[in-house]
Amino acid sequence: MLVGLLSFGAPFFLLVGYAMRYAPAADAPPLLSGTMPLIVAGVALAFGEKFGLMRKFGLALIGASAFAIVAASVISGNPAWHGHLLLLGAAGLWALYTLAFKRSGLSAVEAAAFVAVWSAILLLPLGAPALIRDAMHGHLTDVVVQAGVQGVLSGVFAIVFYGLAITRLGASRGAAMTALVPPFAAMLGIPLLGEWPGLPTIVAIILTTVGVALAAGAFDGWRRTHSRGNLTA
């Protein structure tokens, strides 16, 4: 459990950061937020959780979308596949943290504090000299913006909100909310980074979004309500 909690924070962000040197921004969300619930669901199946046909179909879509992205880069000789493998590794760390947090008994704030403090202890000696150097060379605004986005929003608020979702919905169902990440990231990458997703990435985003929602049981409640309505009628 401790190893699972330690896998998030610094190791996760380092892997993602190195992966983005090779892979375009549009490829990251399907591989990260798509395969993470796939891993969580696989562990749940191994521990005896029963999945319906629709949830299994969703898992198949997720696996197909991840394979499409990696296979397209390998076949074309694009070095982005190096980043894709790193992203899959980061997704594994995210899934490990999700399962460990669910079993730890920690609150969302406690887990976020745990991740933030140990990550700061690990990275501050390595990153502080570079931050100071960049600030002294006229990049203070960039450092402040990065600290706010990566440190406060992603490093604190996102972890707290994610922990609250897992606490209320469970590990596999809480992962359904990550289905919102691929389309949002792809759309934001166009105006902010000038990166237009290719056809394989667009297909993977669609498959991942639908697959994650199905695999996490996002429509289970709707189906039960719909069935009861038909029986009542």
Q: Which of 24, 55, 17 is nearest to 213 (CA)?
A: 55
What number of helices (H) and strands (E) belong to the chain?
A: 13, 0
pLDDT at site 218 = 59
Domain boundaries of the chain, sorted by first residue? 2-216
Half-sphere exposure of 121 (CA within 13 A, CB side): 7
Distances (CA, A) of 132 to 9, 120, 146, 153, 154: 22, 16, 13, 21, 21
Q: If you search the block for the tokens 């490093």, which residue do you land on?
A: 155
Tell me the per-residue pLDDT of 11-22, one tens digit each, with 9 for 90 and over. Answer: 888 898 888 888
User: What is the rounded CA–CA span in Å between residue 159 and residue 206?
Assistant: 25
Reply yes or no on whether the pLDDT at 217 is more than 60.
yes
pLDDT at site 221 = 54
pLDDT at site 230 = 44
Tell me the range of 123-132, 187-196, 211-220 where mean pLDDT is highest: 123-132
For residues 99 and 74, is the Cβ–Cβ distance under 8 A?
no
Residue 220 banded pLDDT, cuts 50, 70, 90: low
Residue 29 banded pLDDT, cuts 50, 70, 90: confident
∠ CA 122-134-27, nearest 5°, is 70
pLDDT at site 229 = 47
- Whole-number mean pLDDT of the chain? 78
Residue 232 banded pLDDT, cuts 50, 70, 90: very low
Looking at residue 217, the DSSP 8-state letter turns out to be: T
The amino acid sitting at 64 is: A
Q: Determine which of 31-40, 80-89, 116-125, 135-144 has the lowest per-residue pLDDT on average.
A: 31-40
Across the range 9-33, mean pLDDT stands at 83
Across the range 29-41, mean pLDDT stands at 77
User: What is the rounded CA–CA span in Å between residue 93 and residue 97?
Assistant: 6
User: What is the rounded CA–CA span in Å between residue 199 and residue 121?
Assistant: 42
Q: Which of 57, 26, 35, 41 is nearest to 203 (CA)?
A: 26
More confident residue, 223 or 51: 51
For residues 186 and 28, is the Cβ–Cβ distance under 8 A?
no
Residues sharing a CB contact under 8 Å with residue 94, sequence separation 6 or more, in sequence order: 8, 12, 32, 36
pLDDT at site 61 = 80
pLDDT at site 55 = 76
Q: Is this prediction's pTM over 0.75?
A: no
Q: What percent of the chain has pLDDT over 90?
A: 0
Residue 231 banded pLDDT, cuts 50, 70, 90: very low
